[in-house]
Amino acid sequence: MLAEEKAMLVPSLDEFVRVDRIDRGVELRPSSPATALETMLINRLRAGEMSAFEEIVELFSPLVYALAFRILNDREDARDVAQETFLKVFRHFERFRGDASLKTWICKIAINQARTTDRWWRRRSRAETVSLDEPIAAVPDNEERLQSDFIPSRDASPEAVAIRSERSRQIEQALARVKKDFRVAVLLRDLEGLAYDEIAYALGISVGTVKSRIARGREMLRVELEKAGHLDSDCRQDRESGTVK
- Range of 43's domain? 2-127+160-239
Mean pLDDT by 10 residues, the chain (245 residues): 56 52 46 77 94 96 92 91 96 91 95 88 57 47 38 59 73 86 92 92 96 94 83 51 44
12 domain residue, yes or no: yes
89 domain residue, yes or no: yes
Spatial contact of 88 and 64, defined as CB atoms under 8 Å apart: no
Runs of H (alpha helix) within the chain? 2-7, 13-17, 36-46, 50-72, 75-91, 102-123, 158-176, 180-186, 196-203, 207-227, 233-241
Residue 53 sits in a domain whose CATH number is: 1.10.1740.10
pLDDT the model gives residue 35: 83
132 domain residue, yes or no: no
pLDDT the model gives residue 112: 94
pLDDT the model gives residue 68: 92
145 domain residue, yes or no: no
191 domain residue, yes or no: yes
pTM over 0.75: no
**Counted domains in the chain:** 1
221 domain residue, yes or no: yes
Spatial contact of 33 and 89, defined as CB atoms under 8 Å apart: no
Instruction: Give dist(CA 238, CA 49) in Å, integer.
Output: 53
Angle at 10 between CA 220 and CA 41, to 5 degrees: 115
75 domain residue, yes or no: yes
143 domain residue, yes or no: no
